[in-house]
Amino acid sequence: MVKNTVIPKDNNIIKIPIEEAMPDNYLPYAVEVAKDRALPDVRDGLKPVHRRIIYGSYMLKAFPDKPYYKSARIVGDILGKYHPHGDTSVYDAMVILAQDFTTRMPIIDGHGNWGSQDGDSAAAMRYTEARLTPIAMEMIRDIEKGVVNMVDNYSGSEKEPEVLPARYPNLLVNGAFGIAVGLATNIPPHNLREVIDATVAYIDNRDITVEELMNYIKGPDLPTGGIIIGKKSMISAYETGEGKVTLRAKTSIEKLDSGRLGIVITEFPYRRSKAKLLQVISEMTADKRYARALEPISDIRDESDRSGIRAVIEFKKSTDMKLAQKILKYLLKKTDLQCNISFNMVALGDGKPITMGLKLILKYYVEYQKEIITKRTKRELEEAKKRFHIVEGFIKALGIMDEIIKTIRSSKSKKDAASNLMEQFDFTYPQAEAILELMLYRLTGLEIDSFEKEHEKLLKVIKKLTKILESEKEILKVIKKELIEVGEKYGDDRRTAIVEEDEKAKIDVDEIIIDEDIVITMSKEGYIKRTSLKSYNRSSGKVEDIEYREGDFNEYFINSSTKDTLMFFTDSGDMYRIRGMDIPEFKWKEKGEKLDNLIKGIDLEKNHITAVYSIKDFNLQKDFVFFTSIGGIKRTGIESFVTNYTKLMALKLKNGEKLIGVELVDRSANVEFIKVETKSGLEFTVRSPEINLEDRNIVTTPLVTLQGEDFAVKMDFSTEPEYKEFYININKSGIIKVLNSGKSSKSVFTNSSSYILIFTLDGEVLSIPAFMLQNVDNSGIDIKVLMKNIDVGNILKIISVEDFDCGYVYFFTQYGMVKKTALMEFKQIAGCSTAYKFKDKKDSLVNVEYSDKEEIEIFLITERGMGIKFKANTVNTMGKLAAGVTAISLKEDDKVAYCFLIDGNDSKDYKLNLISEKGNKEQINVKDVVLQNRAGRGKSIMLIVMDDKVKKVY
């Protein structure tokens, strides 16, 4: 489908939606960047700019045996003909090809200042000179024989090679690094001899494994030497094309001329600036975080000269060999003296970026060389056959030379002579042309012999070339032979040593830490420091003397050691760790440094530190006990926190849940009671359930259910709680108070072993253990904290329950409904729940009663003075969500005003006083009211006029 794009008159701006423009333009851009700039071709191992530098230099005849050219001349020629980009990009690429500390087998022979391993840049191109190196000629050898495709340059005015012949596997030998759009490549350099041996081995056995190839290629061979550690890592990297291996500087501890010990560095890691690395070490000696560990260092100097690299870190006179070795390990751990080499072997194969393993790279290279040899052999065979044909003509002509001369003399022109030769002596046109151009001295007997020898020689050449083209095996033999010749001519010894044991790359941190007792302080805002115990003992030791900024104060005081691990638990459930020695040392009065500057990833603005522990030994039989804001508890063994990572998830939290406390206990310790304090002011102690050890990524076990929006702010171990008996009272404002006596109808006598059930007019119920309320202070607690959306005026009844396994709860509504529900239905309630479901939304409860007696009678009085008494056993037991059954059939203008339960076995008289709104009074004896059937209309027990109704019953 053709897109409807509007092209304005100036042909400059095209109006098109960005969502269409981006996919159409960005993807081609990304592909072109990868192909034409950033990624090397697997066949010659070169990016386009490097290929153009080599070809441009070749066309300028800047050969190894010719004088140097000014770099600016070479760069200018390449810019004008092949590479229409900035001169800096070309010259910078050329500098890399010339540096023997960056490129394993330099392609450019540079004359002048071409930079140094200290990070110095090369001189400007107007000052330097360059030419191709001998091995660069192997990259371009046979190009004149048409072995590669020549393509138009950017302007179509010149031809340039699509790829160079590359007579050795340059991608592996010199490696590559570059960044494209969305991908990158990083291929370390290797030893030329080893790569050629591996290529030959691959040609001999296409099924060879990567591990077998590594018998030839031991690993990367870097221009700057060094030591590579870990064979397993390399095998993985060579198989997948991705990975990393450890690279270490070549160091030794020697006794210097001064008589002191010193670390001597003779080989620095690849692509690491020597000067910058020594500067970093120098700065570390003045940094409070490292100064104590590096205190024995007295001098750092660079003694490198023309004879080689040599840097010396000199120690103080008192430093012995053991301490020197410890400091060397410390520097390997903390600096780039030991670093990683990344493998990300991405190259262009068949025009597409592919992540390639070692074997695939060799496969592509060998297949490409087969093409090169085939094309070259065809070209050579064609030329040999042409020459053979000419020589055949010469030999034939020498036998009849007198007749030929006579014919030529009788001819009118050269063209006529050629025609006559072809007609009279049966020569071909090329033969006739060659005879006509033959000089007379070639007619001597000696020359005749040379033609015959050449004839025999060409016959052998043609036979040999034909044999090569007819057999892939012969082509591979040629490739092997020429590769071996290149290896013998240009190969050198390996510079980088290989240590196969991966474990040797690991440096045990405990080995490099100087064990020292320290004191750690941390403020509320997260300023942390360490002070040696000796220095602390000489100071005042008062945290008030620490100079925190206004509003900040010390929150943690920890006795620790430089070898200890500090564990910081945050309210988000994460654990962050840092070694004691990595906390910077400050004087006692100094506040220190922010923790989030020391531990990557921790954000003190979003997370609060809940607990801090200093751990010396993770093998101890100890556990962490975690407490959370929703009343959860969890126990995890200390060994679960052994890690090299800075951050671990300590426990899994639910939405809205926060970690509020952490305790470290002996594994044998039995946690029986937990004291809980909540945001609303509740303070109580609960018995802890049996807590098993669990993994870190497990949620907590509920210890207690907190009501409404209340949450725990503190939880701690406690002793057995005190048993109390008390009254719970709810006043008109909805404030729950604990009193010594009941002061209203909305109060109940209870004890620490009971549960409180609070019922509302709209059929809701709140269940809460009485012990949670027993320590409420004199100001009380608002019930809205426990029941979020409650209307205080809707609180109907409070019931105290000690045993849920017996008895029933009776519900009565103003529309004359009754329901009997077993008390045990309310045993599993966690917070608020529905206790009664109304059939009519306008209905509401008028009373809730509890009884555990068998013979119970129910008595109801309506607003119009009607009364009914019936047996409770006529009401079947129903669930919490049931709507109940009819207790009394009401007239339309009547409602239930009063109801209660009567013990049928009690002979006591129940006298009730009824008062109407107009002041009329009536006293009745409940015993005198006759039992009726449930759901009847009842009996009039008080005369009520039309606009009057029962107001009060007592």
Taking alpha carbons only, the member of 834, 829, 854 closest to residue 845 is: 834
Active-site choice (26, 29, 127, 154):
127
Tokens of 685: 């102690």
Place of tokens 């926190």: 641
CA distance 589 to 658: 33
Question: Percent helix, strand, coil in the chain (nearest 5)?
Answer: 30, 30, 40
Q: Residue 342: CB partners within 8 Å, gap ≥ 6?
A: 186, 243, 244
How many C-beta neighbours within 10 Å does residue 103 have?
Answer: 20
Instruction: Answer yes or no: 127 catalytic.
Output: yes
Q: Which H or E run contains 558?
A: strand 554-561
Residue 114 and residue 95 in contact, taking contact as beta carbons nearer than 8 Å: yes
The conformational region for residue 96 under phi > 0 = left, psi -120 to 50 = alpha, else beta, is: alpha
Rounded (5°) CA angle 291-296-298 = 95
Query: Which pair of structure tokens corresponds to residue 424?
Result: 């009279």
DSSP alpha helix (H) spans, 539-643: 595-598
- End-to-end alpha-carbon separation of the chain, Å? 90
* DSSP assignments along 172-238, one per residue: HHH-EEEE-SS-EEEE----HHHHHHHHHHHHH-TT--HHHHTTT--S---TT--EEE-HHHHHHHH
Among 611, 614, 616, 615, smallest CA distance to 626 is for: 611
| The length of the chain, given as a count of residues | 954
Residues 6+ apart with CB under 8 A from 395: 448, 451, 452, 455
Measuring CA to CA, how many Å separate 345 from each of 100, 212, 238, 360? 22, 19, 9, 11
Residue 848: both structure tokens together: 């809730």
Residue with tokens 């076990």: 701
**Interstrand relation of 725-730 and 735-739 (parallel, antiparallel or unpaired):** antiparallel
Where does 331-389 show beta strands of DSSP type E? 338-344, 346-349, 352-355
For 34-55, give the DSSP string. IIIIIS-BTTT---HHHHHHHH
| Bridge partner residues of 568 (DSSP) | 576, 612
**DSSP tag of 602:** -
Provide the 8-state DSSP code for 513.
P
Contacts of 405 (CB under 8 A, 6+ apart): none
Distance CA 171, CA 922 (A): 112
- Which tokens sit at 365? 């290279």
Read off the tokens for 331: 């520097």
Q: Give me the active site residues, please.
A: 127
